[in-house]
């Protein structure tokens, strides 16, 4: 099951998992995008199901996980990819409102989806949860970028995701449930379109990575798929930078 599956990293993860032959459940709040996805599956023969819901509503989170179990008998993998930034919140709102809105989706949504998924995984033989965090869960925004005034809720939310990953990973490992996180560098997605449209900002973002470029969403999805697979059977409670060297500087 992949949240935020209609676009960005979530959509790339969806493509990667289907390429690997997985039976997938796509979750998103965008009903129109999910309908388009279902139509694509109908013509391609992919074993998938789409379910709309708000990850930050406990009833929705539990219903979406139940949907996955009802359709495929069990839930083996959850990818928590649903997320927003302050740039996607009402720009007229004050800093506290924007902070709470971002924490609600990115942190609370990860919490509720994980809680519901763990209950389902306990009924079978365990599973894997992969949380999408960020490089800014590990470092602050550089002063060269105009993204934060020191009160950016995105950093707070992704830092929370890392600590949840560590605590869940340590506590759930004995039950056969592996929890890890991926920390992407700057990635070309809908969430970065409005900043990469500025040539100067775009160049700065590229140059902050030792590779000299930003990531494609598929590059993040490749690592997510690895962490969800049995090939990562001894990887637990880890935060994996997938950032072109950004955080090693």
The per-residue DSSP string of the chain comes to -EETTTSHHHHHHHHHHHHTT--EEEEES-HHHHHHHHHHHHHHT--EEEEE--TTSHHHHHHHHHHHHHHHS---EEEE-----GGGS-TTS-HHHHHHHHHIIIIIHHHHHHHHHHHHHTTTT-EEEEEE--GGGTSPPPTTSTT-SS--HHHHHHHHHHHHHHHHHHHHGGGTEEEEEEEE-SB-SHHHHHHHTSHHHHHHHHHTSTTSSPBPHHHHHHHHHHHHSGGGTT--S-EEEESTTGGG-
Q: Among all residues, which ones are annotated catalytic?
A: 154
- Report whether 244 contacts 209 (CB < 8 A): yes
- Report whether 158 contacts 136 (CB < 8 A): yes
């Amino acid at each position: 099951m992949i949240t935020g599956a209609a676009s960005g990293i979530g959509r790339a993860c969806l493509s990667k998992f289907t390429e690997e032959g997985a039976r997938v459940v796509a979750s998103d709040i965008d009903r129109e995008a999910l309908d388009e996805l279902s139509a694509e599956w109908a013509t391609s023969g992919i074993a998938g199901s789409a379910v709309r819901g708000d990850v930050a509503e406990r009833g929705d989170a539990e219903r979406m996980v139940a949907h996955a179990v009802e359709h495929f008998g069990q839930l083996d993998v959850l990818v928590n990819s649903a997320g927003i930034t302050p740039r996607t919140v009402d720009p007229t709102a004050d800093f506290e409102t924007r902070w709470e809105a971002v924490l609600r989706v990115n942190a609370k949504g990860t919490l509720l989806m994980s809680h519901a998924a763990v209950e389902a995984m306990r009924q079978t033989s365990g599973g894997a949860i992969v949380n999408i965090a960020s490089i800014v869960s590990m470092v602050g925004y550089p002063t060269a970028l105009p993204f934060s005034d020191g009160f950016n809720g995105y950093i707070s939310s992704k830092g929370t995701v890392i600590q949840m990953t560590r605590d869940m990973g340590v506590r759930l490992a004995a039950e056969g449930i592996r929890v890890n996180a991926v920390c992407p560098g700057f990635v070309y997605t809908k969430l970065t379109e409005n900043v990469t449209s500025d040539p100067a900002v775009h160049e700065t973002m590229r140059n902050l990575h030792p590779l000299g470029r930003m990531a494609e969403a598929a590059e993040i999805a490749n690592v997510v798929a690895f962490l969800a697979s049995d090939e990562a059977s001894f990887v637990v409670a880890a935060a994996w930078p997938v950032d072109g060297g950004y955080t090693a500087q």
